[in-house]
A and B are shown apart, each in its own frame.
Chain A
Amino acid sequence: MSEQDDIALHGARKGDRVRLADTNLWIEVEADDREVGNELLMGFARNARDGIGMKSVSPSESCDLVITNVLIMDPVLGIKVSSIGIRKGRIHAIGNAGNPDMSNNIDVVVGSGTLIVSGEGLIATAGGIDSHVHALAPRVFESALASGITSVIAQELGPYWGVGVGSEWGLKSGYASLDDWPINVGVLGRGAASHPRALAEAISGGVCGFKIHEDTGAHPRTIDTTLNVADEYDVAVALHTDGLNELSSVKDTLAAINGRTVHAYHVEGCGGGHAPNVLQLAGRDNILASSTNPTLAFGSNATAEHVAMIIASHGLHLDVPADIALAQARVREVTMAAENVLHDLGVIPVTSSDALGMGRIGDTWRKTFAMADAFAQSSSDFAQSHDNERVLRYLSKITINPALVHGISHEVGSLQPGLLADIVLWRYDSFATKPHTVFKGGIPAWGVVGDPGSSVPNAQPLQLAEQFGAHGAAPSELSVLFTNSGSELTATARRHVAVRNCRTVQGSDMIRHGELGEVIVRDALSPVEFRDQQLLMDPLTKVSLHRRYIF
């Protein structure tokens, strides 16, 4: 059999180098759980048949569904070819799949009734987690799913700039709308209160954390009050600091935080926060920093788009010079460049969108890996290095690390057995830019579908659209609502999951990150410094994962 035929039939094998989409990131397959010659394949003249690759047992004794021969990329599990067995919506086992009657070393038993998804030529990752979403329009969830995002931490469920929802009634009615989308959702309460009693309703209403935002008051007092309540209920606190430096500067904000864990949103500052030096929050053990995607893969047009974006997002006016000045103060090349470098160094552990605020929900996978590609140091030459560590580091920014930050890693964020089977399959040639299939709770919920009247499922025009997991009662059966341990919310079709361990998680816990140190921002024009190094990067005039794929 020719090499190309073997790759087409069985996908990559141990030792192979794979170029991720059109990037210069080459990964090397670290392991292959299969036995050469005993690969399980589905279809005509293949071996996934009764008595051969399928054991005559029921799915409850084997698996409900197995994704075969897939290239797994996971920050915890590494990069290997294997099969993923799913039982009752959760990842049951990962390893060599088949029938132990006829094959050695079977980890994933395939039964006569097991559904089989052929994963040859595909990459499997955990579903993406977007921890910064303004759900101002319901279709934001469609864009999320079509990009490979399966969990969202939202700040609104409606077309009002809320930066957190405080109303129990507002939460309840918003939650009732979620039945349409096969996506996990948690909503942040508005952490804009001087007194804890003002936050109690959000807790009982089932928020999964709080958002402190300068538009509603990122004052030392609201920071302290919100963190006190968060400590009591073990929920995360996301922070957009005082960009006007009206009541506080970076050191005052840090004093108010007082060593407690916070999630520092868009830490570069263009999305908002202490100007010009909010980036100084990064690199501290109690500050879990994230970036929003317009500044990622620092592009040559990044500064140009941002003034208008800030004005549109924050209720400012293009014809008011004072408003333009406020917006301009947030846009700085030096911090954008530094932010990208801090990602590569493993200092900033999370990427997110700021969807419908100042970012694009469908773009986080793409921008995260376009940024990784900007630092790529690998090739197909086996004598040269591969980029496994870099790829897994960037993968952790959109999967396991946001799960740890928001206390949901006991349900999502990785492909480890026991977790929800929220899985994205990507073609090798389209990784991180357009998914092939998005599994939610083990069921295809979104993915590539073709002409519905055709004789075959893959006739053009292919579109990224709903699959069966997105219809009927399926979305809520397959998805969860992230809440808190003090939630008194009862109604909603979907299962409630209280977040946990939000108050003890630290920067040093971040997978493939945790590099700590002082980030020094002297002013809006000088290069940012970290560990006696200037963090410099030329803006990119071209990035990967975009032009070849997007109409």
Chain B
Amino acid sequence: MELTPSEQDRVLLLSAALISAQRAHAGLLLNKPEAVSLMCAAVIECARAGGTHADAVIAGSTAVTAEMLLPGVSSMLRGVSVEAVFDDGLRLVALPDFASEEFVPGEVVRRQPVAAITPTAFVEITNTSSIDISLTSHIHVFETNPMLLMDRSVAYGMRPAIPSAHHIGIAPGETVVVPLIEISGERVVMGFAGFVDGPLDAPHAKQNALNKLRACGYLDSGVDNV
């Protein structure tokens, strides 16, 4: 058979699925490894039978229903993915999560909402380029993409006032008002486009950075305001 390590793993998975199917057939409610094996086996067998990727997603996500599971198991069937051999080769199939039920192992119950981040300034930004541009939560807005038209002076020492890991997307030609908040900590900006590369609040740091930025052709609607 010249089985590779991946094929050996697949045999293990399919063996588990055979036993799990017997258990389900006997009317037993399934646990997590049993359910995962059945879902993945359905994907692999669908691909083997010539199904498309979309067919395999449906097969995998319908192989097990909530009624077949021990209470609480459905919430643990998150992020299940498996590789299968389709007619166009090996493909990864990621299955959708189950809907939550009442009993959730590892459930987190929140006492109070997370405090929102309060912006201290706003800046209007227009994307003058032909591509989407995204700003993430902790970027120094001042030195973002040269094709973003904004009052760079307002954005100096500021980051987007959005939760960590969020971003603001700006489509070509679009103008958005971006909420800002001061960069905290020791307020040292190192790297990025290299216009500050030191303490934000050092004497002349802002003017020097603005001069460099403009000399490099960054769009700045605030030229006259400085």
> Is B163's CB within 8 Å of the partner chain A?
yes
> Which of A7, A51, A55, A430 is the one whose CB lies under 8 Å from B192?
A51
In the bound complex, how far is the Cα of B114 from the Cα of A12, in angstroms?
11
Knowing A16-B108, A19-B104, say if A101 contacts B83 (CB, 8 Å). Answer: no
Nearest-neighbour CB distance to chain B for A384, whole angstroms, equals 12
Stretch of A31-39, A295-303, A317-325 contacting B (4+ beta carbons < 8 Å): A31-39
In the bound complex, how far is the Cα of B199 from the Cα of A102, in angstroms?
10
> Is B24's CB within 8 Å of the partner chain A?
no
In the bound complex, how far is the Cα of B117 from the Cα of A459, in angstroms?
37
Contacts of B144 in A (CB 8 A): none
Contacts of A549 in B (CB 8 A): 31-33
Q: Within residues 1 to 36 of chain A, which ones have a CB less than 8 A from any CB in chain B?
A: 1, 3, 6-7, 9-13, 15-22, 26, 35-36
**Cβ–Cβ contact B109 & A102, under 8 A:** no
> Is A52's CB within 8 Å of the partner chain B?
yes
**Cβ–Cβ contact A459 & B33, under 8 A:** no
Knowing A460-B81, A461-B13, A548-B76, say if A104 contacts B185 (CB, 8 Å). Answer: yes
**Cβ–Cβ contact B136 & A47, under 8 A:** yes
In the bound complex, how far is the Cα of B159 from the Cα of A463, in angstroms?
42
Stretch of B47-55, B67-75, B208-216 contacting A (4+ beta carbons < 8 Å): B67-75
Contacts of B186 in A (CB 8 A): 100-102
In the bound complex, how far is the Cα of B185 from the Cα of A35, in angstroms?
11
Contacts of B80 in A (CB 8 A): 460
**Cβ–Cβ contact B108 & A22, under 8 A:** no
In the bound complex, how far is the Cα of B82 from the Cα of A449, in angstroms?
13
**Cβ–Cβ contact A51 & B190, under 8 A:** yes
Residue of B whose beta carbon sits closest to that of A433: B105
Stretch of B122-130, B147-155, B164-172, B218-226 contacting A (4+ beta carbons < 8 Å): B164-172
Q: Which of A15, A18, A382, A453 has the most CB of B within 10 A?
A: A453
In the bound complex, how far is the Cα of B105 from the Cα of A18, in angstroms?
9
Knowing A12-B108, A427-B106, say if A458 contacts B114 (CB, 8 Å). Answer: no
Nearest-neighbour CB distance to chain B for A26, whole angstroms, equals 8
Contacts of B32 in A (CB 8 A): 548-549
In the bound complex, how far is the Cα of B186 from the Cα of A551, in angstroms?
52
User: Digit string of A177-214 for contact with B (CB within 8 Å is 1, else 0)?
Assistant: 00000000000000000000000000000000000000
In the bound complex, how far is the Cα of B33 from the Cα of A430, in angstroms?
12
> Is B16's CB within 8 Å of the partner chain A?
yes
User: Digit string of B101-114 for contact with A (CB within 8 Å is 1, else 0)?
Assistant: 00111111111111
**Cβ–Cβ contact B40 & A429, under 8 A:** no
> Is A106's CB within 8 Å of the partner chain B?
yes
**Cβ–Cβ contact A22 & B105, under 8 A:** yes
Residue of A whose beta carbon sits closest to that of B73: A548
> Which of B79, B167, B188 is the one whose CB lies under 8 Å from A45?
B167
> Is B207's CB within 8 Å of the partner chain A?
no
> Is B115's CB within 8 Å of the partner chain A?
yes
Contacts of B6 in A (CB 8 A): 451-454
**Cβ–Cβ contact B108 & A45, under 8 A:** no
In the bound complex, how far is the Cα of B75 from the Cα of A547, in angstroms?
15
> Is B57's CB within 8 Å of the partner chain A?
no
Contacts of A431 in B (CB 8 A): 106
Contacts of A36 in B (CB 8 A): 114-115, 117
Knowing A56-B190, A106-B185, A549-B31, say if A18 contacts B73 (CB, 8 Å). Answer: no
User: Digit string of B86-111 for contact with A (CB within 8 Å is 1, else 0)?
Assistant: 00001010000000000111111111
Q: Within residues 460 to 504 of chain A, which ones have a CB less than 8 A from any CB in chain B?
A: 460-463
**Cβ–Cβ contact B92 & A459, under 8 A:** yes
**Cβ–Cβ contact B33 & A45, under 8 A:** no
Knowing A101-B186, A548-B31, say if A455 contacts B165 (CB, 8 Å). Answer: no
**Cβ–Cβ contact B191 & A15, under 8 A:** no
Contacts of A455 in B (CB 8 A): 83, 90, 92
**Cβ–Cβ contact B112 & A15, under 8 A:** yes
> Is A304's CB within 8 Å of the partner chain B?
no
> Which of A6, A430, A547, A551 is the one whose CB lies under 8 Å from B114?
A6
**Cβ–Cβ contact B165 & A39, under 8 A:** yes
Residue of B whose beta carbon sits closest to that of A101: B188
Contacts of A462 in B (CB 8 A): 36
**Cβ–Cβ contact A7 & B110, under 8 A:** yes
Contacts of B187 in A (CB 8 A): 101-102
Knowing A19-B105, A51-B191, say if A104 contacts B184 (CB, 8 Å). Answer: yes
> Is B27's CB within 8 Å of the partner chain A?
no
Contacts of A17 in B (CB 8 A): 108-109, 111
In the bound complex, how far is the Cα of B187 from the Cα of A41, in angstroms?
20
Contacts of B183 in A (CB 8 A): 102
> Is A530's CB within 8 Å of the partner chain B?
no
Contacts of B105 in A (CB 8 A): 19, 21-22, 428-430, 548
Contacts of B112 in A (CB 8 A): 15
**Cβ–Cβ contact B82 & A451, under 8 A:** yes
Residue of A whose beta carbon sits closest to that of B43: A460
Per CB-CB distance, the 4 closest pairs between chain A and chain B, nearest first, are A429-B106, A428-B106, A453-B6, A51-B191
Query: A-side interface residues toward B, CB under 8 Å?
Result: 1, 3, 6-7, 9-13, 15-22, 26, 35-41, 45-47, 50-53, 55-56, 99-104, 106, 380, 382, 427-431, 451-456, 458-463, 547-551
Query: What are 11 A-B residue pairs whose CB atoms fall within 8 Å in the complex?
Result: A1-B166, A10-B165, A52-B139, A55-B190, A56-B190, A451-B9, A451-B10, A453-B4, A458-B79, A461-B10, A461-B16
Query: B-side interface residues toward A, CB under 8 Å?
Result: 4-6, 9-10, 12-13, 16, 31-34, 36-37, 40, 70, 72-73, 75-76, 79-83, 90, 92, 103-115, 117, 134, 136-140, 159, 161, 163-167, 181, 183-192
Apart from A13-B110, A459-B81, list 18 A-B contacts with CB within 8 A.
A7-B108, A15-B112, A19-B107, A22-B72, A36-B115, A38-B184, A47-B165, A51-B140, A51-B192, A451-B10, A452-B9, A454-B83, A454-B92, A460-B13, A460-B36, A548-B32, A549-B33, A550-B33
